[in-house]
Amino acid sequence: MDSQQFREFGKAAVDYIADYLETVEERPVVAGVAPGYLEKLIPEEPPQAGEKWQEVLQDVDRIIMPGITHWTSPHFHAFFPTASSFPSIVGEMLSAGFGCVGLSWVASPAYTELEVVMMNWLGKLLGLPEEFLNCSEGPGGGVIQGSASETTFVALLAAKEKTVRDIQKLHPELSEAEIKGKLVAYSSNQSNSSVEKSGLLGSMPMRLLPVDEKGQLRGDALEEAIRKDKEQGLIPCYVVANLGTTPTCAFDKLEELGPVCQRENVWLHIDAAYAGSAFACPEYRYLMKGVEYADSFNFNPHKWMLVNFDCSAMWVRDARHLVEAFNVERIYLKDQHKGLAPEYRHWQISLGRRFRALKLWFVLRIYGVDGIQKHIRHQISLAQRFEELVRGDQRFEVCSSSMGLVCFKLKGDDALTVKLLERVQQRKKIYVIAGHFGESHVIRFAVCSRLTEKRHVDYAWNEFASQADEILGCKVERKSDISIEISNARCQKINDIEKSK
Ligand SMILES: *Cc1c(COP(=O)(O)O)cnc(C)c1O
């Protein structure tokens, strides 16, 4: 392919993306294919002779599109958002165009230097303590990782190295292996699965501690667990606190956990993967009170801040702990710029690095702080609208509502909620997933897509209400105005059908 053909192919692809996003709302939000569907549509061997790009692009429509679940659809309300925006898509494209591997400063200075500045912009946007920023006097700094999972694991490895060194200072008679065999980590039982996985990968038992009735991990639960472990001769090493849990978007009590970690010399990592974006709005910053106790802090701009996957922002209070855990020197990595710019390869697992800072720069400049705040506030207001609609219907109850996430159920037996969810999932008009609240089965409704508007929230509610009508019958009165209208009309219709039978 020459550059002329690239111009044509690239422009056609951009048109394809724009058409797709303009019409995504009309597609069934969940792919309707069965496992193994794709193998049947594709030859078993790669083509001997190269093919035309036009044919390839046509096959995207024919083979790939049916197997896409439309995360950008305004009817997608499952999991958490994964961000997508035009400035970010273009940022991805340009970074592919440069085609560098940022394995050191000199391997592409702009890669490192833009990342340094972007992590400062982002830290200021969230109102993080100054000492986490690259521009502070101290050893703190920010880096872009691929995912929150990676970040939790990287922080665990740094905590492990630090603890081994700290303990060896006090007990020179203990070997590294002896110390490592005694280390323990803690998080709440509401943590993302990736937290448990980081313990597995890092060979450190991860205690998943009970939470209070609001889903928050409290200081006393941590204190108690640490006390028990110390009695057994174990060494507390690492705590992962959640700001915005995956099940209900609950916020652990940092103000209580922080002092315990400080007293016990335990590394405190904060997983704010989803909800961290909300701290761009000052009115939500009270939820991160106690952040100053953290050793590391992470959130995903690729979730709620309009930057396409992958882009996970991590800050550390003292970057030397990362570098000491990850630094291996080789002759081909020697360069003369030591100390002037961070060598980010020592802050992460892989050697090579993508130019993720570029798409972040595009989003921050083209949306501006105002645009990002508006996006977050709008999505939270949509979730609040949904919550009101649920509360307006006596058959339902809201179990939790936080940020852009509402967990709710039908009153009465859990089986009813399970049935409702199954029906809604089968119909594929909207996409939601199951959750748990305490012992109850709930439906998790998240406002995910940048394209979601009030009418999509009403559409989703109508889907739940109408399916509930079918499961329960339609005799219950509704409080909320729109549901009364819709439901009266529907009940009338059902009654007419009943009568005519
Ligand atoms: C989504 C999420 C994760 C996982 O994020 P990845 O970037 O996909 O690894 C971890 N923790 C929380 C709280 C999350 O919401």
Q: Which residues contact 128 (CB under 8 A, 6 or more apart)?
A: 279, 291, 297, 315
Is ligand 1 within 6 A of the CB of residue 308? no
**Residue-level pLDDT at 473:** 81
Q: Which domain holds residue 451?
A: 1-30+69-82+369-501
| Residue/partner pairs of 35-44 with CB below 8 Å, 24 or more apart | 37/66, 37/67, 38/63, 38/67
pLDDT class of 70 with cuts at 50, 70, 90 = very high
Give domain status of residue 270, yes or no: yes
Is the distance from CB of 447 to CB of 379 less than 8 angstroms? yes
Give the pLDDT of residue 501. 45
Q: How many domains is the chain partitioned into structurally? A: 2
pLDDT at position 414, please?
Answer: 94
- Cβ of 452 closer than 6 Å to ligand 1, yes or no, is no
Nearest residue CA, atom 1 of ligand 1? 273
Decide whether any atom of ligand 1 lies within 6 Å of the 242 Cβ.
yes
Q: Are residues 251 and 180 in the same domain?
A: yes
Rounded to 5 degrees, φ, ψ at 200 are: -60, -50
CA nearest to 309, candidates 247, 365, 356, 363 = 356
Are 159 and 226 in the same domain? yes
- Cα separation values, 96 from 64, 143, 191, Å: 21, 20, 34
Q: Is residue 301 part of a domain?
A: yes
Answer yes or no: is 304 within a domain: yes
Residue 215 in this model has a pLDDT that exceeds 90 = yes
Nearest atom within ligand 1 for CA of residue 151:
9
- Region 278-298: mean pLDDT is 98
Whether ligand 1 lies within 6 angstroms of the CB of 389 is answered as: no
CATH assignment of the domain containing 181: 3.40.640.10
Query: In testing the pocket of ligand 1, which one of 196, 300, 402, 405 has its CB within 8 Å of the most ligand atoms?
Result: 300
The contacts of residue 223 (CB under 8 Å, 6+ apart) are 260
Q: Is the CB of 480 under 6 A from ligand 1?
A: no
Segment 180-206 mean pLDDT: 97
From 71, 79, 149, 298, mutation site for ligand 1 pocket: most ligand atoms within 8 A of C-beta:
149
Name the least confident of 132-146, 184-198, 295-309, 439-453: 132-146
Q: Is 163 in the pocket of ligand 1 (CB under 6 A)?
A: no
Give the CATH number for residue 464: 3.90.1150.10
Residue 273 in contact with ligand 1 by CB distance below 6 A: yes
- Give the separation between CA 306 and CA 86, rounded to whole angstroms: 9
**Looking at ligand 1, which residue's alpha carbon is closest to its atom 2?**
273
**pLDDT tops 60 at residue 302:** yes
Task: Tell me what the mean pLDDT of segment 62-74 comes to.
Answer: 96
Helix (H, G, I), strand (E, B) or coil at 362: helix
Q: Band of the pLDDT at 330, cuts 50, 70, 90?
A: low
Q: Residue 431 has what DSSP assignment?
A: B
For residue 342 the two structure tokens come to 């961070």
> 211 with 78, same domain?
no
Which alpha helices (H) appear in 216-319, and where do they start and end? 219-231, 254-264, 301-304
For residue 450, tell me if it sits in a domain: yes
The reply to whether 190 falls in a domain is: yes
Whole-number mean pLDDT of the chain? Answer: 92
Q: Are residues 379 and 299 in the same domain?
A: no
pLDDT tier at 483, thresholds 50, 70, 90: very low
Final residue before a domain boundary, out of 306, 322, 338 = 322
Q: How many CA atoms lie within 13 Å of 497's alpha carbon, on the beta-carbon side?
A: 7
Question: Residue with structure tokens 């990342």?
Answer: 115
Is 183 within the bounds of a domain? yes
* Percentage with pLDDT > 70 across the chain: 92
Q: Contact at 8 Å (CB) between 347 and 319? A: yes
Query: Which tens digits make up the pLDDT trace of 444-481?
Result: 999 999 999 999 999 999 999 999 999 998 645 444 54
Return the higher-pLDDT residue of 308 and 438.
308
How far apart are the CA of 151 and the centre of ligand 1, in A? 10
Q: Which residue has better confidence, 341 or 399?
A: 399
Residue 77 CA, chain-centre distance (Å), reads 14
**Do the beta carbons of residue 185 and residue 238 sit within 8 Å?**
yes
Q: Assess whether 293 and 193 both reside in one domain.
A: yes
- Under DSSP, the state recorded for 183 is E
Instruction: Give me 490's structure tokens.
Output: 């529907």
Identify whether 341 is part of a domain.
no
- Cβ contact 211:190 at 8 Å: yes
pLDDT at 335 (0 to 100)? 53
pLDDT digits (tens, 9 = 90+) for 143-192: 999 999 999 999 999 999 999 999 999 999 999 999 999 999 999 999 99
Domain C-terminal end among 261, 292, 322 = 322
- Separation between Cα atoms, residue 440 and residue 475, nearest integer Å: 25
275 and 418, same domain (yes or no): no
Residues 440 and 302 in one domain: no
Whether 193 and 255 map to the same domain: the answer is: yes
Q: Which of 72-86, 315-329, 389-403 has the lowest mean pLDDT?
A: 315-329
Share of the chain above pLDDT 90, in %: 84
- Note whether 249 and 152 are same-domain residues: yes
Same domain, 148 and 258: yes
